[in-house]
A and B are shown apart, each in its own frame.
Chain A
Amino acid sequence: GESVGLHLPTLSVQEGDNSIINCAYSNSASDYFIWYKQESGKGPQFIIDIRSNMDKRQGQRVTVLLNKTVKHLSLQIAATQPGDSAVYFCAENGSSNTGKLIFGQGTTLQVKP
């Protein structure tokens, strides 16, 4: 069945270091992927997205990499700051054409000062 998962439930990094959050997906028909950030008590916040015709996309301090061969997605955060502490979710659209997204379980990023 369709599934989106994360390799590590919790990631702890030192402030100023780079963070890498990984995500595996199983549906080869997925052609759209999103990363969300969720702070405690708030709704998920859109960070960055990528389509399957791309391998890499950069935003402000964030980069998403897509490896379709091994069905792997990663989110890289440069110079991690305390404000980056949150739960990060990846999501894929699966084989749906209705806008439905399938979310992973989430990785908690802890930034140590």
Chain B
Amino acid sequence: DAGITQSPRHKVTETGTPVTLRCHQTENHRYMYWYRQDPGHGLRLIHYSYGVKDTDKGEVSDGYSVSRSKTEDFLLTLESATSSQTSVYFCAISESSPVGNEQYFGPGTRLTVT
């Protein structure tokens, strides 16, 4: 998985609780991304980062926030989890942009909100 780890790998939480997912890379890549994957929707971008402290929204950012204080770590926070946020979350990294920007994915975090 190209030097990408995600933690936790599985989590069950209750509606209304805060949740933070962590993505850690050892590749020193500049770009990092958070996606969610749901049946019938494929992979959808939540937020991405183009450098330390530089982040921007993706297509499904409502209810999520991110932070990147170090090159190697990109955190995804659900401030108050809802059942609609039950999903598999993938982190991805990319060395360069805009063209030739293949993204490498982590193993994923399966989140269940009850």
Contact = CB atoms under 8 A, between A and B. Distances in A.
Interface of A: 31-32, 34, 36, 41-46, 49, 51, 89, 91, 93, 96-101, 103-106
Interface of B: 1, 31, 33, 40-45, 48, 50, 56, 58, 90, 92, 94, 96-108
Contact of A32 (B1, B41, B100, B104): B100
B83 to A, nearest CB: 22
Contact of A49 (B92, B97, B102): B102
A93 B98 contact: yes
Contacts of B45: 100-101
Contact of B43 (A41, A44, A46, A98): A44
B22 to A, nearest CB: 15
B42 A99 contact: no
Q: Sorted from nearest, which 3 A-B pairs have the closest CB atoms?
A: A99-B97, A43-B105, A97-B98
Given A97-B97, A98-B97, A34 B42 contact: no
Nearest to B108: A43
Given A34-B102, A46-B102, A100 B42 contact: no
B107 A104 contact: no
A79 B103 CA distance: 27
Contacts of A46: 102-104
Contacts of A49: 100, 102
